[in-house]
Structure 1
Amino acid sequence: MDEQWRADLAGWGIPEEIAATAPADPWGHSPARFAERTDRALADPEGPTLARVAEALPPGGSVLDVGAGTGAASLPLATSMGELIAVDPSAAMLAELTSRADELGVPTRIITGRWPDVAAETPAADVAVSAHVVYNVPDLSDFLAELSAHARRRVVLELTERHPMSWLTPLWQHFHGITRPTRPTVHDVIAAAEALGHEVRHERRLAPLTRFAHLEELAESACRRLCLGQDRAEEVIAAVIELDLWPLPRDQWFTLWWESM
């Protein structure tokens, strides 16, 4: 199963000859954009992921947020937490999280690095959460096993039904003649967790917001992801309209959870 997951994920790689022409990092993420999402979550905390974490969290309990980013999956529970343990490879993301945690008065332990590479130096918590991370993880079983080993009560995952770059599939074909894979999916993640002996429950919902507010925002992101210069944004917009891709449908989000063994 691990081999299939790894192979499916590798299918989303960018060919070297295309990546070499990229004017910007096609895999990069903006801390500012992540921080906006966290601020929206703080202003209106809702959804099954927060609910599944909250119901397993004892008063003053601890949360381990793996791939925490700027804290959207954990900081909205500030009034219930006694400690937040935040793990992420990006110091810039963690700086945004730390500033918000300080404002909220949440004691926070920061661990900079990739999971499960830093698992040995990470303490256990009552609940472990990881939101929108697993499609970046080639060794899924190790990732999930260490997450479970660090959760005293429950593990909660949030992810899209399909690879989060799936919206670009028609544009990869249009601009580069590349057919993108259809896997992995959330069902592969469920199967991997069940293979580790967990009884996985899940809930699905529409993403709370559309991916892009306007076509220009989509074009800016698509140019970067497709390794195109921003001077081709109008060309991307024309292709999006020609291919009838706008407005993008909202993603299906899944919350998975299981109890610690």
Structure 2
Amino acid sequence: MDERWRADLALWAIPDEIAARARTNPWGHSPARFAERTDLALADLGGPTLERIAEALPQGGGVLDVGAGTGAASLPLAARLGELIAVDTSAGMLAELEARAAALGVPLRVVMGRWPDVAAETPAADVAVASHVVYNVPDLAAFLTELSGHARARVVLELTERHPMSWLNPLWAHFHGLVRPERPTVHDVIAVAEALGHKVCHEDRLAPLPRFTRLEDLAESACRRLCLDPDRAEEVVAAVVALDMWPLPRDRWFTLWWESS
């Protein structure tokens, strides 16, 4: 099952001849944009992922947030947190998280690196969470095994039903004649976790916010993801309208969880 996951995920690689045209990293993420999402999460302390974490988190307990970004999946629980252990590969993301943790009075331990490569130097916590991370993980079984091994009570995942770049599939076909994959999906994640012996529970909902509120923002993002020059943004807008893609339907988010003991 894990080999199928790895093979399906590999199909999302951008062909070399297209990637060579990119002016910026087509897979990159903006710390500022992630920070905005964290601030929105701090203003609205709801949703099944936070609820499933809170259920297993004793007052003053610890959370291990793998692929923490700027802290959207963990900082909203500041009132309960005795320690937040944040793992991420991006110094920019972690700097945004550190500033917010300090403002909220959350004791923070930062581990810079990729999971599970840094698992040996990362302490355990009551709850381990990985939010919108797994579609970047080729070796999912090893990732989940170390996550479970570092959780005293519960593991919680949040992810989109399909690959988060699936919204671009019609535009890949339009601009590059490239048919993008349909897999893997959340159901493949569940299958891998269950094959490891975990009793996986899940809940889903519509994403709390649209991916884009302005067509111009969609076009800017699409140019970067599709390895197109930014000055082709108007072409992207025209294609989006012609393909009846706007407004984008909201993603469906899944919360998965299992007990680690």
TM > 0.5:
yes
CA deviation after TM superposition for structure 1 residue 3, in Å:
1.3
Separation (CA, whole Å) in 2 of partners of 1:128 and 1:3: 24
CA deviation after TM superposition for structure 1 residue 228, in Å:
0.3
Residue number in structure 2 paired with 1:93: 93
Q: What are the residue-to-residue correspondences of 1:75-114 with 2, within 5 Å? A: 75-114=75-114
AA partner of residue 90 (structure 2): S
1:118 aligns with 2:121: no
Residue number in structure 2 paired with 1:16: 16
Q: Secondary structure at the match of 1:102?
A: helix
AA partner of residue 12 (structure 1): W
Residue number in structure 1 paired with 2:185: 185
Separation (CA, whole Å) in 1 of partners of 2:21 and 2:180: 19
Separation (CA, whole Å) in 1 of partners of 2:145 and 2:231: 45
Separation (CA, whole Å) in 2 of partners of 1:149 and 1:4: 23
Residue number in structure 2 paired with 1:41: 41
Separation (CA, whole Å) in 2 of partners of 1:217 and 1:170: 17
Separation (CA, whole Å) in 2 of partners of 1:106 and 1:97: 10
Separation (CA, whole Å) in 1 of partners of 2:3 and 2:197: 19
Residue number in structure 2 paired with 1:72: 72
The sequence identity of aligned pairs, in percent, is: 79
Residue number in structure 1 paired with 2:25: 25
- What TM-score does the superposition give when structure 1 sets the normalisation length? 1.00
AA partner of residue 242 (structure 1): A
Separation (CA, whole Å) in 1 of partners of 2:199 and 2:28: 34
- What TM-score does the superposition give when structure 2 sets the normalisation length? 1.00
AA partner of residue 171 (structure 1): L
Separation (CA, whole Å) in 1 of partners of 2:145 and 2:4: 18
Q: Secondary structure at the match of 1:32?
A: helix
AA partner of residue 15 (structure 1): P
Residue number in structure 2 paired with 1:5: 5
Q: Secondary structure at the match of 2:222?
A: helix
1:245 aligns with 2:252: no
AA partner of residue 79 (structure 1): A
Unmatched tracts of structure 2, length 5 or more:
none
Q: What are the residue-to-residue correspondences of 1:153-232 with 2, within 5 Å? A: 153-232=153-232
AA partner of residue 34 (structure 1): F
Separation (CA, whole Å) in 1 of partners of 2:6 and 2:193: 15
Separation (CA, whole Å) in 2 of partners of 1:3 and 1:177: 28
AA partner of residue 219 (structure 2): A
CA deviation after TM superposition for structure 1 residue 23, in Å:
1.1
CA deviation after TM superposition for structure 1 residue 2, in Å:
1.5
Residue number in structure 2 paired with 1:235: 235
RMSD: 0.4
Unmatched tracts of structure 1, length 5 or more:
none
CA deviation after TM superposition for structure 1 residue 116, in Å:
0.2
Q: Secondary structure at the match of 1:63?
A: strand
Separation (CA, whole Å) in 1 of partners of 2:171 and 2:256: 30
Write the deviation string for residues 171-216 of structure 1: whole angstroms up to 9, x where unpaired. Answer: 0000000000100000000000001110000000000000000100
AA partner of residue 165 (structure 1): M
CA deviation after TM superposition for structure 1 residue 251, in Å:
0.1
Separation (CA, whole Å) in 2 of partners of 1:35 and 1:257: 25
1:52 aligns with 2:52: yes
AA partner of residue 72 (structure 1): A
Separation (CA, whole Å) in 2 of partners of 1:43 and 1:159: 21
Separation (CA, whole Å) in 1 of partners of 2:172 and 2:80: 44
Q: Secondary structure at the match of 2:64?
A: strand
AA partner of residue 150 (structure 1): H
